[in-house]
């Protein structure tokens, strides 16, 4: 059995692994030597000691440490002899013809049990859900991939859909894009997919072939519909809680789209999924008769990542904050069980330029993921002390509105006596495992404290990531002592 498949089955053995760290205070690691790449909609797969990401337009990259990345391929138009396919336009001619486009969307790669790599490629017309999702196989992760054919089509107006006897209806049937294949705790294989249109769907897969099991049509609907702006699904199993976490991106992906990441969870990979308030994901959709009705979906899901700006950073650029971050995948370190969110983001004042970002994730005492406020820079698992956290901070208070307007951080003070002042007013406590609770008159915030890298100060500091009971986050980064 391959390392990838074995790791998926063995995840349950990691139950009880440290959430915020098992070690006490220690010297921070050295400053990171960062190297960035451009891969829109990155999906993660491992091969030997490297983590690979594959995304839209034929882009791919790899890293051995999640810090320094190397670009493998960039764009089909810039590189028509793309190393992933060779002559991609000849190889996938049927896909491009059906989707009426000359580019690919968010590809996903997974290692099959026999050691081959399965790429789920997809193409979409863009101004409609006329899409094709297919499978290609390679012996090595870097290609070349050989087409196995189209698995699903969408956008067949006035024709029968992939569900026998049902005419295609974009308000209830999926757009066949944004695939994510994964193994569950027992080694069974699944694929979740979908963007806008009829929502997010899931299929049971045959790991021996990489094909869907027969007779499923489009599969099972998980959430979305009526063209609600929900896309980019990925599912992660957490042995610490026994839950499957369904991450999706709400909003639009461009700099003015308000892209953000929200999560639902289930005890079964095929659902049903719910949010922190117990709302069924299957009921989350745009109001009937609407298109891109964000107001219908804003109350739902646990929000863990959105656009923001640091007041103590440059006003423009990659250190200033994030604009429309989303379409994430995830990575779990096989040796430690440490987990990370891998996604693309745009940045304040830089237009549509985007890069890949990686942030460590942790679990709250209530079993919901939170994201470190600092990009991953090599931090080890480490538990903070009360003395580490006492001091002045910059805090970002998110809301649940899907908007291109990004919150600016504001001053926060965690006093040694347990009081909180500034943008939040109340009390704070630090418990075993680095779990933090902030109590105010309006809400209770639970989450985790962790090491965090401050690129503006070029120094290590501490971070806090907490959630309200309804799933609204607050991030904070402790000020760096200028001395």
pLDDT for res 113? 97
* Alpha-helical segments (H) within 293-423: 294-297, 386-389
Q: Quick check: 420 pLDDT over 60?
A: yes
Average pLDDT over residues 371-388: 94
Report cis status (omega within 30 of 0) of the bond before 272. Answer: yes
- What 3-state DSSP class applies to 91? helix
Considering 91, 180, 231, 294, which one is annotated as catalytic?
Answer: 231
CA dist 33 and 63 (Å) reads: 12
CA dist 266 and 75 (Å) reads: 36
Average pLDDT over residues 6-21: 36
Residue 231 designated active-site: yes
Question: Among 404, 428, 382, 419, which Cα is nearest to 29's?
Answer: 382
| Residue 241 and residue 188 in contact, taking contact as beta carbons nearer than 8 Å | no
Q: Where are the beta strands (DSSP E) in 335-472?
A: 339-346, 355-363, 369-371, 391-397, 410-414, 419-422, 426-431, 435-440, 444-454, 459-467
| Lowest-pLDDT choice from 59-63, 129-133, 191-195, 380-384 | 380-384
pLDDT confidence tier of residue 77, bands split at 50, 70 and 90? confident
The one-character DSSP state at 74 is -
pLDDT for res 81? 67
CA dist 231 and 290 (Å) reads: 17
The residue that leads in pLDDT, 168 or 382, is 168
| Lowest-pLDDT choice from 13-22, 96-105, 316-325, 468-477 | 13-22
Strands across the sheet containing 339-346 = 308-309, 321-332, 339-346, 355-363, 369-371
| Alpha-carbon dihedral angle through residues 376, 382, 383, 388, given to the nearest 10 degrees | -70
The one-character DSSP state at 97 is H
Q: Quick check: 283 pLDDT over 80?
A: yes
pTM value is: 0.94
pLDDT for res 478? 98
Average pLDDT over residues 64-89: 88
Q: Quick check: 440 pLDDT over 60?
A: yes
pLDDT for res 29? 82
Query: 309-335 in b/e burial notation, b at 16+ Cβ within 10 A?
Result: bbeebeeeebbbbbbbbbbbbbbbbee
Question: CA of 59: how far to CAs of 42, 201, 391, in Å?
Answer: 9, 25, 43
| Lowest-pLDDT choice from 2-6, 154-158, 467-471 | 2-6
Mean pLDDT of the chain: 93
Q: Quick check: 22 pLDDT over 70?
A: no
pLDDT for res 7? 40
| Residue 324 and residue 305 in contact, taking contact as beta carbons nearer than 8 Å | no
- Domains defined along the chain, listed by start: 3-24+35-371 (2.115.10.20), 386-478 (2.40.128.10)
Question: CA of 66: how far to CAs of 5, 35, 62, 296, in Å?
Answer: 21, 9, 8, 36
Q: Quick check: 262 pLDDT over 70?
A: yes
Q: Quick check: 280 pLDDT over 80?
A: yes
Q: Quick check: 247 pLDDT over 50?
A: yes
CA dist 176 and 198 (Å) reads: 10
pLDDT for res 78? 74
pLDDT confidence tier of residue 21, bands split at 50, 70 and 90? very low
| Residue 160 and residue 168 in contact, taking contact as beta carbons nearer than 8 Å | yes
pLDDT for res 380? 85
């Amino acid at each position: 059995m391959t390392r990838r498949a074995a790791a998926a089955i063995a995840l349950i053995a990691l139950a009880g692994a440290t959430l915020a760290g098992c070690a006490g205070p220690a010297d921070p690691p050295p400053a990171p030597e960062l190297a960035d790449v451009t891969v829109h909609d990155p999906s993660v797969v491992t091969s030997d000691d490297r983590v690979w990401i594959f995304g839209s337009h034929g882009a791919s990259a790899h890293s051995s440490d999640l810090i320094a990345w190397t670009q493998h391929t960039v764009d089909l138009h810039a590189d028509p002899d793309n190393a992933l396919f060779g002559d991609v336009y000849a190889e996938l001619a049927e896909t491009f013809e059906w989707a009426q486009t000359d580019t690919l969307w968010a590809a996903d790669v997974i290692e099959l049990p026999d050691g081959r790599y399965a790429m789920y490629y997809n193409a979409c017309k863009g101004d409609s859900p006329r899409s094709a999702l297919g499978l290609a196989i390679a012996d090595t992760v870097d290609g070349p991939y050989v087409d196995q054919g189209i698995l699903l089509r969408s956008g067949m107006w006035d024709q029968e859909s992939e569900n026998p006897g049902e005419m295609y209806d974009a308000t209830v049937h999926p757009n066949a894009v944004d695939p994510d294949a994964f193994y569950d705790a027992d080694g069974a294989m699944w694929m979740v997919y979908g963007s806008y249109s009829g929502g997010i769907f899931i299929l049971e897969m045959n790991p021996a072939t990489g094909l869907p099991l027969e007779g499923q049509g489009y599969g099972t609907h998980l959430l979305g519909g009526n063209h609600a702006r929900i896309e980019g699904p990925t599912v992660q199993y957490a042995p610490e809680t026994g839950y499957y976490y369904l991450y999706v991106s709400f909003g639009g992906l461009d700099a003015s789209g308000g892209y953000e990441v929200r999560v639902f969870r289930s005890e079964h990979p095929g659902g049903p999924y719910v949010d922190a308030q117990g709302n069924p994901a299957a009921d989350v959709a745009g109001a009937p008769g609407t298109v891109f009705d964000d107001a219908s979906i804003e109350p739902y899901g646990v929000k863990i990542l959105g656009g923001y700006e640091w007041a103590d950073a440059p006003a423009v650029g990659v250190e200033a904050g994030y604009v429309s971050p989303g379409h994430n995948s995830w990575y779990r370190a096989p040796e430690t069980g440490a987990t990370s969110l891998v996604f693309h983001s745009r940045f304040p004042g830089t237009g549509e330029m985007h890069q890949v970002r990686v942030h460590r994730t942790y679990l709250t005492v209530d079993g919901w993921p939170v994201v470190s406020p600092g990009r991953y820079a090599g931090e080890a698992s480490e538990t903070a002390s009360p003395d580490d956290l006492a001091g002045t901070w910059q805090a970002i208070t998110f809301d649940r509105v899907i908007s291109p307007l990004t919150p600016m951080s504001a001053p926060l003070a965690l006093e040694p006596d347990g009081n909180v002042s500034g943008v939040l007013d109340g009390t704070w406590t630090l418990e075993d495992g680095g779990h933090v609770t902030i109590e105010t008159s309006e809400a209770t915030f639970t989450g985790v404290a962790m090491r965090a890298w401050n690129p503006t100060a070029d120094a290590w500091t501490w971070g806090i990531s907490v959630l309200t009971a309804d799933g609204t986050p607050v991030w904070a980064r402790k000020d760096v002592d200028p001395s």
